[in-house]
Structure 1
Amino acid sequence: MTAKTMKTGIIGGTGKMGRLFARVFEKAGYEVLVSGRKTAITAADIAKQCDIVIVSVPIRETVRVIGEITPLLEPGQLLCDFTSLKVRPVEAMLGSKADVIGLHPMFGPTVKSIKNQTIIVCPARAKEARVAQLVDIFEAQGAVCTIATPEEHDRTVAVVQGLTHFVTLCVADTVRRLGVDLRRTEKFESPVYQIELSLVGRLLSQDPALYADILQQNPYMPEVLAACRSSAADLSAIVDAKDPEQFRKFFERNSRHLGSYCEEGQKTTDALIECMVNR
């Protein structure tokens, strides 16, 4: 069977992420079927008909949906998911007879294409050739694929996504608690404040259920949040002490840890600020 006659099925494919990847697989020459709450095609239809089956539903529904289709899958099929967490979905997918590769696109569905976007690939039960075939589909369209275990994925995204979203939400809630008039702050804003406020607005304009699941369902988040709370407490104590030397030591410890990222961050934000000023 050639790639041009193979079928890819996306369960939950009527959502934005599903529609994005439907185009990706169609561009690669695959026939694509999608199912959703209002489609005539069902998840069972996709499980029975498609060579590649991808589950693209909210995190809280993923394991349940996988459980419904695993009895229908046969050896030779490939089962994947697009969930932001990987340990539990991959465990559930391994209950099938199909090959299993967990996927996590590290971007939102509003992007125009997957070019220069990162996709995490977690092979769980698949030959190298099959993994390479899937990676080639994405990389041929400009994506950057990173291979990881489900455990490494969840531990890393607890920082990359979880910590980032937690801190952003804390900024939003602090502003609310203080009763800050954001329109008034525009008269005082620096470029960095504008960037930070834009990140807050971007997050809060999206579905809260997604961020709740990223923060509440990742088994490594408690460890990350404990470190965050400890850091905030230490820094608060240093600020309250009004001791410049303590602050310098705190600052320099973190500067040394980030190393070259400090200079890279300066250049990146300078370029971003330049774009903002000249837009």
Structure 2
Amino acid sequence: MKIGIIGGTGGMGTLFSEVFKKAGHEVFIVGRKTKMTREDAARISDVIIISVPIRDTISVIHEIAPLLREHQVLADFTSLKISQVKAMLTSKARVIGLHPMFGPTVQTIRGQTIVATPARCHEEDLRFFVKIFENQGARVTITTPAEHDRMMAVIQGLTHFKAILLAGTMRRLGISPADTESFMSPVYRIETGIAGRLLAQNPELYADILCMNPQVPDVLEKCQQAFLETLSMIKNGDKDAFTEEFLASREWYGSFCNQAEKDTDFLIQAMVNR
């Protein structure tokens, strides 16, 4: 198969160009400075993948959509799916949304999750991607664009917000990670490490993830509600209410708590042994 990756000179495009080459396919790379243009790739590729920043995805899709035909497959690597898939459906191509749940700094897709949102495609089109990804050790989750965006509002929106909030609170307190270094437990190191890892990356990516998913504000309003209710318990010294809240969340998490304890014990031991 001939696979054209628009945005292929970026981190994610570079990573997946190697994934497809390893699977035996011919890959065409399109970037701002490549000789091959978006139009060239759209005309000659069997599969066209859009791998550009979230804010640019829809405009790039609309640019190439009129050039595509029924025998081609159009996909994207964007963190959002409802609007992006809708835009891809304006073409005549078969359409599958893809979202790698990891950054381009990984060395391999082994052990990683990739979400697929098939919209208008043949069964063999979906199998094409699933086989490549699973053969190289990735896990593929198949869902709808709407369910994808609903889950991303929590998995990305809420967790990224929490990390940014942790760093912002420490900054407002005038306490840096270096100030806490000699007091750190491995668990605290992991928590601040996640915030530091996020802050080391491109702020525009996280601005797009948080600001462009219309479901994120509703999730963060629930977060605010939980924060204010729990803050009230703490201010009032209401240990009974706090305990009730704590146990209700434990029950909601269920058996995940036991697995999480084992997983984090492994991480803590790795931190201690490094």
Normalising by the smaller structure, the TM-score range is: over 0.9
Determine the C-alpha separation between the residues in 2 that align with 1:216 and 1:84.
Answer: 12
> Which residue of the partner structure matches residue 226 of structure 2?
231
Q: What TM-score, normalized to structure 2?
A: 0.99
1:19 aligns with 2:14: yes
**1:117 has 2:112 as partner:** yes
Alpha-carbon distance in 1 for matches of 2:25, 2:161? 39
What residue in structure 1 maps to residue 252 of structure 2? 257
Mapped to 2, the partners of 1:131 and 1:181 lie a distance apart of 47
Moved more, 104-113 or 125-134: 125-134
1:90 matched to 2:103? The reply is no
Q: CA RMSD in A?
A: 0.7
Which 5+ residue runs of structure 2 have no aligned equivalent? none
How many equivalent pairs are there?
274
Q: In structure 2, which of residues 37, 42, 48 is the aligned counterpart of residue 47 of structure 1?
A: 42
Q: CA deviation at 1:183?
A: 1.5
Candidates 183, 187, 192, aligned match of 1:188 = 183
- What is the distance in 2 between the residues matched to 1:225 and 1:184? 29
Structure 2 partner of 1:210: 205
Contact 2:177–2:192 (CA under 8 A) maintained in structure 1: no
Spell out, residue by residue over 1:129-150, the C-alpha distance to the aligned partner (whole angstroms, 9 max, x if none).
2211221111111110000100
2:169 matched to which residue of 1? 174
- Aligned-pair distance for 1:184? 2.3
**Amino acid across the alignment from 2:84:** P
Deviations 1:186-225 (A, max 9, x none): 1111111101110010000000010000000001111101
Name the aligned partner's letter for residue 82 of structure 1: F
Q: Give runs of aligned pairs for residues 238-249 of structure 1, distance below 5 A.
A: 238-249=233-244
1:144 aligns with 2:116: no
Runs of 4 or more consecutive aligned structure 1 residues displaced over 6 Å after TM superposition = none
Q: CA 1:235/1:278 → structure 2, altered by over 3 Å: closer, same or farther?
A: same
Give, in angstroms, the shift of residue 21 of structure 1.
0.3
Q: TM-score, normalised by structure 1?
A: 0.97
Which residue is 2:72 aligned to?
77
Please say if 1:62 is aligned against 2:60: no
Question: Which deviations, in whole Å up to 9, do the C-alpha atoms of 1:151-209 show, x marking residues without a partner?
Answer: 00000011011100001100010000000032221111111110111001000000001
Segments of structure 1 that go 5 or more residues without pairing to the other structure are 1-5
Amino acid at match of 1:166: F
Report the residue type matching 1:246 in the other structure: A
> 1:109 is paired with a residue of what secondary structure?
coil
Write the distance in 2 (CA, Å) between the matches of 1:9 and 1:263: 44
Cα distance in 1 for residues equivalent to 2:53 and 2:45: 21
Return the offset for 1:57. 0.1
CA shift for structure 1 position 116: 1.1
